[in-house]
Amino acid sequence: MDWGCFVIEFLQVIIYGIVLGCIISLGAIGVSLIFGILRFAHFAHGDMMSLGAYFGLVGVVSLQLPMYAVFPLAMGATALVAAALDRSIYRWLRSSTPIIMLISSVGAALMLRSAIQVVWGPDNKIYEAGIKLPYIFYGLRIKPDQLNIIFGTAVLVVLLHLFLHKTRMGKAMRALSDNMDLAQVTGINTERVIFWTWMIAAAMAAAGGIFLGIDTRLNPIMGWRILLPVFAAAIAGGIGNLYGAVLGGLLIGIVQELSTMVISPAYKPAVAFAIMVLMLVFRPTGILGGKE
Amino acid sequence: MSLLQVDDIYGGYGNADILHGVSMHIEPQEIVSIIGPNGAGKSTVMKAVFGLLKVRQGRILFNNKDITRRRPDQIVHLGICYVPQEFNVFPSLTVHENLEMGAFIRKDSYSEQLDHVYELFPPLKDKRGQSAGHLSGGQRQMVAIGRALMLNPSLLLLDEPSAGLSPLFIEQIFERVLEINKSGVGILMVEQNAKQALSFSHRGYILSMGGNRFEDSAENLLNNREVAEMFLGG
Amino acid sequence: MELAGLLTYFIFFLTVAGIYAVLSLGLNVQWGFTGQINIGVAAFFAIGAYSSAIVTTEASPFHLGGFELPFLLGILAAMFASGFLAFLVGLVTLKLRGDYLAIASIGIAEIIRLFLKNEGWLTNGVRGIPAIPKPLSGLTESGDALLFLLVILAFVFVIYMALERLYQSPWVRVLRAIRVNEDAVQAAGKNVLRFRLEAFVLGSVIMGVGGGLYAHFTTFISPSAFDPMFGTFLVWVMLIAGGSGNNKGALLGAVIIWGVWSGTEIFTSRLPEMWVTRASAIRIFLVGALLEFILIFRPQGLLPEKPPKTPGTARSEKSGVSPAAGRADT
Ligand SMILES: Nc1ncnc2c1ncn2[C@@H]1O[C@H](COP(=O)(O)OP(=O)(O)OP(=O)(O)O)[C@@H](O)[C@H]1O
Ligand SMILES: [Mg+2]
């Protein structure tokens, strides 16, 4: 066995894992934020990622915009849809239980997905045709798109960090996540903070969805398929903990890709599931510790 | 005119009433203590005043304005702030951010008030960048009270500010409460350390089983044999 | 001719509604009685279908088979297989909080789906298993469909009656108590985990029956028949619309929602040409909207839960006016 080749192959797989991990992280951040504040697992989050990807498609194909302009547009549009979803559905269920909200989000997931199918059709789509040549460093291949995904995710995570720690609304979001009752007693307008939480979570999801579309292809079920790894990442990182969500995403992404060296790639999602169950059974607060 | 007037209120968390006709009043710049056994409904009275409870009957006036069924966020705007008995800081926010949250609804500059709070609780100034969850019990209580002061209220509701603190800290906290009062803030306080609390209060109410038992000046309550035996531990 | 066509359609409609009623009754044991959220109904449905198909079909070079067992043994195999899967899944996940179980259950469903698709030696992969025998077929000239409907209705009846009996039992009383206040049940010295595992397995066994019936009804199954929309989501809407916790509600929900689903087809078939290809997505959207509507305006469903009157539980019922009320699993 040639060890040099093996190491290169191994590192190559790690790179793929990081790329996938970035995409998963962007979804997991939103799931974690929403859980932290509204205390329910948002099953429509994957489909929000799909929606973001398709809004991106409108920007790229119909409006012929450059990628850097497509992002804010798609993220903003997805945020508006999330806010509308909250206003029209979730808001009326706030006084019910988290489990009822969860079931309602499963319904919302189906509505989003079928809306995507109605508007854009069920077939696979891509942002742009053609193959870009990868850069090669010491035998490791990395495509420009993949570099962009990693860089873009890093920028978004830093921006989110600044938002949460430097702005009034960001701090209020963290306060709500800590203790909703105390926030209310303090006079914070919790409904407004919740509104912003949806917008931010959806914007992150949209970016993740576009990256997923760049990395693979767009189809209406892409978001539902990635929902399991996204939840697994949020749980592995400690639900309600943002940096945990990023770490969890990278962990799930890397382990999923590494698993393809051992088992059939068809079973990749099973790996996310296995990590999630192990975490839930042995360390339910996640790597970095989160909310119970 | 009383600062706060509670008139014969009834109410509870579900169908059953916890409060059966509680009445009390606080004059401007008074410190009033509520004393009573566990489960007497002391915290429940505070929640009723702050709009966190369904008041079924009776009314609550603040500066002669009826606030009986107002929501907490409306009441805050009127100038009442509340420090709950437990979970009264945002643990993952820093000390400084906790205080900022206290001023969340202020549209004007609050840096003066911030300085005032740091002056009142000097230990907080050194810990301003630390997460509130990592502070000691006494410092956490300072953060909680400081947070409630950020709106410059005219009435402060304190639910057991000394609970779980060591005697040294209890002393410190009570000193601060007195100082806050001296600066013109009316204080309604629930306390387990009854004797100590009454010793610096103007008046006191003794609550048991959801109703008024005794009400008098703090001095008279401390000297009342029956009260001493039943509620002040001899 | 017209009438005959209508009759055929009616028989078809009731047969499918009957199969859904079985699934819905199974989910009622898990969600309605116990408050467990299983978003992987499709997995147990599929396992039931495949098990029964494999043990009853003739030998085939494309998939495991050749046992040619009779229909009823096929259903028994379906019950056993989905019950066993539920037992394994339950051992690991039932300790988890309610919403984690929900997440885990979509994982199970995904893994089963991948398994059925990729293990061709067993299932013939995406090409599926054909020629599954239909019981009682060929006995009469043209009454196959009607006879099979009677078989289905017999199953629905037996399961429904059994669950109604069960509903009066102390066992379900404990399940309901677990749903409302798990800690109190624990404190009363009951083994909560065991009760939950039993309920989860029982519900899944019933779903397995539904799967078996489905396989023999269509005589051909492939992984795409068990997608989350038809295998899981529709069943949830049925149970919630009918009334979680109420067996009659589960039946009623199955018939009504299947009716609504079929009705939307009549509506979408009138759409202009270019929309027809997207019709099924529009229908799914409408069913999603219907679920949200029910959750917001009538969470207890058409037939709200009616717990049997027993002195011991009288107090907890007050808080359970809506079946949704007691389901805070956090
Ligand atoms: N959130 C709640 N829901 C239902 N009942 C409650 C709630 N909080 C308190 N109670 C009940 O109301 C009664 C009065 O409680 P309260 O907290 O007002 O007592 P307290 O005098 O503050 O006691 P302590 O000294 O222990 O703080 C108690 O019987 C308690 O069980
Ligand atoms: Mg109290």
Under 8 Å CB-to-CB from B151, ≥6 apart: which residues? Answer: A187, B76, B79, B81, B102, B103, B105, B106
Question: Which strand (E) or helix (H) includes residue B217?
Answer: strand B211-217
Burial class for A171, CB neighbours closer than 10 Å (0-12, 13-18, 19+)? buried
Which residue has tokens 């396992």? Answer: C47
Q: How many Cβ atoms sit within 10 Å of the Cβ of residue A80?
A: 15
DSSP A101: H
Q: How many Å lie between the centroid of ligand 2 and the Cα of residue B65?
A: 26
Judged by DSSP in three states, C111 sits in: helix
Distance from chain centroid for Cα B5: 15
Output the pTM of the full model. 0.90
Encode pLDDT of A203-227 as tens digits. 999 999 999 999 999 999 999 999 9
Q: Which of the residues A39, A86, A110 would you substitute to probe the C interface, choosing the one with the greatest number of C C-beta atoms within 10 Å?
A: A110
Most ligand 1 atoms within 8 A of CB, residue of B9, B15, B17, B18 to mutate: B18
Provide the token pair at B167.
């005697």
Residues of chain B with pLDDT under 70: 234
Mean predicted lDDT score pLDDT of chain C: 86
ipTM here: 0.91
Nearest to A34 by CA among A225, A277, A200, A164: A200
Write down the pLDDT at residue C140: 74
| Residue A226 and residue A27 in contact, taking contact as beta carbons nearer than 8 Å | yes
CA separation for the pair C53, B112 (Å, rounded) = 78
* Per-chain mean pLDDT for chain A: 92
Each residue of A250-261: b (16+ CB within 10 Å) or e?
bbbbbbbbebbe
The residue ranges of every structural domain in chain A are: 13-282
Task: Report the C-alpha dihedral over residues B149, B150, B151, B154, rounded to 10 degrees.
Answer: 20
Could you tell me if the CB of B51 is within 6 A of ligand 1?
no
Assess if CATH 2.60.40 describes domain A13-282. Answer: no
pLDDT digits (tens, 9 = 90+) for B171-205: 889 999 999 999 999 999 999 888 888 999 999 99
For residue A146, what pLDDT is reported?
A: 93
* Amino acid, single-letter form, for residue A291: K
Confidence of residue A157 (pLDDT cuts 50, 70, 90): very high
Which residue does chain B place closest to A164, by CA atoms? B93
With b for 16 or more beta-carbon neighbours within 10 A and e for fewer, the B20-58 pattern comes to: bebebbbeeebbbbbbbeeebbbbbbbbbbbbbbebeeb
Instruction: Sort strands B203-208 and B31-35 into parallel, antiparallel or unpaired.
Output: parallel
Taking Cα atoms as reference points, which of C133, C128, C130 lies closest to residue C151? C133
**Which chains form contacts with chain A, at 3 or more CB pairs under 8 Å?**
B, C
Q: How far apart are CA C63 and CA C66, in angstroms?
A: 9
Contact C233, C243 (CB under 8 A): no
Pick from A24, A22, A14: which is nearest to A269 by CA? A24
* A241 φψ region: left (φ > 0), alpha (ψ -120 to 50), beta (else): beta
Q: What is the pLDDT of residues A16-44, one digit of tens each?
A: 999 999 999 999 999 999 999 999 999 99
Residue count of chain C, please give it.
Answer: 330
Distance of CA A186 from the midpoint of ligand 2 (Å): 19
**Residues around ligand 2, an ion, CB closer than 5 A:** B 43, 85
Q: Which residue of B has its CA nearest to A241?
A: B92
- Contact residues, C window 232-271, toward A, CB-based 8 Å cutoff: 233, 236-237, 240
The Cα–Cα gap between A268 and A13 comes to 13
Q: Are B79 and B153 in contact (CB under 8 A)?
A: yes
| Contact residues, chain B, for A168 at CB < 8 Å | 100, 104
pLDDT for res C11: 92
Measured CA distances, A23 to A15, A138, A247, A274, C167 (Å):
13, 25, 12, 19, 47
Domain ranges of chain B: 80-152
The mean pLDDT of chain B is 90
Q: Is B43 in the pocket of ligand 1 (CB under 6 A)?
A: yes
Alpha-carbon distance B28 to B23, whole Å?
17
* Interface with chain A: mutation pick from B13, B83, B104, highest number of A CBs within 10 Å: B104
Q: Whose CA is closest to B34, among B93, B88, B98, B85?
A: B85
Looking only at the bridges linking them, the beta strands covering B4-12 and B65-66 are unpaired
Report residue C169 as tokens.
């039992």
Q: What's the N-to-C CA distance of chain A in angstroms?
A: 47
- pLDDT bracket for residue A290 (50, 70, 90): low
Distance CA C53, CA A231 (A): 34
Among residues C11, C36, C12, which one has the least CA distance to residue C26? C36
Q: What are phi and psi of A93, to 5 degrees?
A: -110, 5
Question: Over pLDDT 70: what percentage of chain A?
Answer: 98
pLDDT in the model for residue C165? 94
Partnered with residue A141 across adjacent β-strands are: A136
Whether the CA torsion C40, C42, C45, C47 is positive or negative: it is negative
pLDDT in tens, C96-140: 878 888 998 988 898 999 999 998 888 888 888 888 888 877 777
Q: Is the confidence at residue C144, as pLDDT, over 60? A: yes
* B50/A187 Cβ within 8 A: no
CB B76 within 8 A of CB B105: yes
